[in-house]
Amino acid sequence: MKIDVIRKLPEHLDTIVVLHHENEPLPVLDFMPEELQTAIETFIKAEELSFEYGKINNFHHIGQKYNTRIILCGAGDPGQLSMDKLRRLFANCVRLASKLKTRSIYLFMGFLPSLNDVAFGHALSEAVLLAVYTFDKYLSEKKNGVIESLHYVLNNKNTRHINRGILEGRIYAETTMLARDLVNEPANVINPDTLAETAKKAALQYGFSIEIISMDKLKRIKMDAFLAVGRGSKYEPKLIIMRYLGNPDGKKETIGLIGKGLTYDSGGYCIKTPQGMVNMKNDMGGSAAVIGAMSAIATLRLKVNVIGIVAACENMISGEAYRPGDILRSMSGKTIEVINTDAEGRLTLIDAIHYAIERERVDRVLDIATLTGAAVAALGPQFSAVLTNNEAWLQQLRTASDFTGELIWEMPAHEEYKEMLKSEIADLKNVGGATAGCITAGLFIKEFVADKPWLHIDIAGTALKEKEAGIYSYGATGVGVRLLTSLLREME
């Protein structure tokens, strides 16, 4: 979809969107044809419209000169209009337009929100592109129409900053959609091989380097916890290593992004219920976030050094599969008693993290994973759970979260809980117990970060949406791509 800023209207206006707030009457809009301004004012009077936040009305105007669909959108109290609230408004208007089979949209603002031009442009293009995303490639009848263009009608000669924001928002949206596609594709399409292939394509397209490590070498370097999880599958595990060195000179630190890459999680011998299995194609949501973020970071040419790592495998059942009761020796040398084969994500992550620290020399570790049902139980689909050993870094993540609207909530990474991971016959067990599952999973991982600054993001609840709303369509959210990208911008 083309998104631009214009100062001159064409003869035919397909759909116009007017955004205004509730504190003042609608002003005369720059460039708005008189016929349409009158039609809008008449409609507002007749319907006693107040432009409350989130209220969207639409009508079809057929007049002397114009045959135009008009969408009126309420922004509420302009003092309360955050970037995320603005994004949601744009998204909902454009989704409506898309359902109405609009081809081109002309956006008029009744007021200017107190955002800078870059942020405004960013919010606009990101919201619009993400809102019209649908995963409908397997549907014979497509869900939405195709919007070809959105033109922001603005009486301002200097559009440099807005245009920069529009471009930025497009990068955020495109890489988020890449992640959404990866997660939405079912496990009969995305397996460790095809996940690695897709990462390769992204590396070529967006400009970062990539290395795929296969079975033989993984055995040689003793990533045995990771390998155990993948052993029941007909697909061999793959370690995907992505490198982007945007700040090569000096002693600049390297940040490791580790994404959980279970292309399917059946639970293994501790098999899930049918209902529990349906969405387990999304168990590589963390890896999609890392691949998306690598793509965004490289496109934006951020001055940071980032290594993205994904231990890709499939948790299945066969005569080869690992069992409850097995004792695994992780790459770090620490041994783990397997209590539950469904607590597999942490086993793959710790080997990937150890690899990142030992072999890639990362100075910081961020892991992102659809890790626990306990995170879903605690926070639902709204918030991702976060654990850390470094409050200053978490503060930067909070700033990123404020910018992108991907909500996070800190869980206590308190030593008290570590007790729960003690095993009688190994250094650790892979499950803490019936309670505090989100925390014990995080603390399990913390044992392998060698005291590096560490952020842990559990996206089990936030990776999927059951209902479309705002910038989210049904299915994968692409959570983490924008969050990680914004975090790295904070760290530039």
**Which residues have a catalytic role annotated?**
272, 346
Nearest to 4 by CA among 106, 130, 96, 133: 106
Please provide the DSSP assignment of 232-270 as one string: TSSSPPEEEEEEEES--STT--EEEEEEEEEEEE--TTS
Burial class (CB in 10 A: 0-12, 13-18, 19+), 10: exposed
Does residue 380 come out as left (phi exceeding 0), alpha (psi in the -120 to 50 range) or beta?
Answer: left
Is 228 near ligand BES (CB under 6 A)?
no
Give the position of tokens 């919201």: 127
x/- letters, 344..373, toward Mg ion (CB under 5 A): x-----------------------------
Is 372 near ligand BES (CB under 6 A)?
yes
33, interface contact from Zn ion, ligand BES, Mg ion, none, CB < 5-8 Å by kind: none
Virtual torsion, Cα 126, 401, 345, 278, nearest 10 deg: -50
Quote the DSSP letter at residue 412.
P
Q: Which of residues 393-432 bind ligand BES (CB under 6 A)?
A: 431
Is 347 near ligand BES (CB under 6 A)?
no
Distance from C-alpha of 417 to C-alpha of 435, rounded to nearest angstrom: 10
Burial class (CB in 10 A: 0-12, 13-18, 19+), 5: middle
Closer by beta carbon to Zn ion, 224 or else 265? 265
CB of residue 442 vs ligand BES: minimum separation in angstroms?
Answer: 12
Is 265 near ligand BES (CB under 6 A)?
yes
CB 462 within 8 A of CB 477: yes
Helices 117-131, 83-99: crossing angle, 10 deg rounding? 40
Is 458 near Mg ion (CB under 5 A)?
no
Closer by beta carbon to ligand BES, 63 or else 433? 433
Going from the C-alpha of 142 to that of each of 94, 177, 182, 234, the distances in angstroms are 17, 18, 19, 34
Q: Which of residues 288-317 bind Mg ion (CB under 5 A)?
A: none
Closer by beta carbon to ligand BES, 167 or else 271? 271
Is 381 near ligand BES (CB under 6 A)?
no
CB 30 within 8 A of CB 154: yes
x/- letters, 311..350, toward Zn ion (CB under 5 A): ----------------------------------x-----
Strand partners, 476: 464
Cβ-Cβ contacts under 8 Å for 161 (sequence gap 6 or more): 116, 117, 118, 121
Q: Which of 94, 150, 290, 343 binds ligand BES (CB under 6 A)?
A: 343
475, interface contact from Mg ion, Zn ion, ligand BES, none, CB < 5-8 Å by kind: none
Nearest to 486 by CA among 410, 396, 393, 366: 396
Q: Which of 117, 181, 236, 283 binds ligand BES (CB under 6 A)?
A: 283
Is 265 near Mg ion (CB under 5 A)?
yes
Closer by beta carbon to ligand BES, 102 or else 348? 348
CB 309 within 8 A of CB 355: yes
Closer by beta carbon to ligand BES, 181 or else 283? 283
**Which amino acid does the sequence have at 411?**
M
Binding part of the chain for Zn ion, among 127-135, 182-190, 263-271, 372-380 by CB under 5 A, reads 263-271
User: In 8-107, where does DSSP find H-type helix?
Assistant: 34-47, 83-99
194 φ/ψ angles, rounded to the nearest 5 degrees = -75, -30
Q: How many residues at the interface with Mg ion, by CB under 5 A?
A: 3
Is 224 near Mg ion (CB under 5 A)?
no
Residue nearest to ligand BES (CB): 373
Cβ density class 447-464: b for 16+ within 10 Å, e for less: bbbeebbbbbbbbbbbbb
Is 458 near Zn ion (CB under 5 A)?
no
Is 356 near ligand BES (CB under 6 A)?
no
Distance from C-alpha of 314 to C-alpha of 237, rounded to nearest angstrom: 8
Tokens representing 234?
A: 């007909």
CB of residue 120 vs Zn ion: minimum separation in angstroms?
Answer: 39
Binding part of the chain for Mg ion, among 5-13, 136-144, 161-169, 338-346 by CB under 5 A, reads 338-346
431, interface contact from Zn ion, ligand BES, Mg ion, none, CB < 5-8 Å by kind: ligand BES
Binding part of the chain for ligand BES, among 40-48, 106-114, 243-251, 373-381 by CB under 6 A, reads 373-381
Is 437 near Zn ion (CB under 5 A)?
no
Closer by beta carbon to ligand BES, 74 or else 267? 267
Closer by beta carbon to ligand BES, 10 or else 380? 380
Give the position of tokens 């909530």: 409
Closer by beta carbon to ligand BES, 97 or else 371? 371
Is 458 near ligand BES (CB under 6 A)?
no
Binding part of the chain for ligand BES, among 85-93, 236-244, 366-374, 393-401 by CB under 6 A, reads 366-374
CB of residue 384 vs Zn ion: minimum separation in angstroms?
Answer: 15
Distance from C-alpha of 174 to C-alpha of 196, rounded to nearest angstrom: 19
Is 342 near Mg ion (CB under 5 A)?
yes
Q: Site residues (CB under 6 A) for ligand BES?
A: 265, 283, 340, 342-345, 370-374, 376, 431, 437, 460
Q: Site residues (CB under 5 A) for Mg ion?
A: 265, 342, 344
Q: Site residues (CB under 5 A) for Zn ion?
A: 262, 265, 283, 345
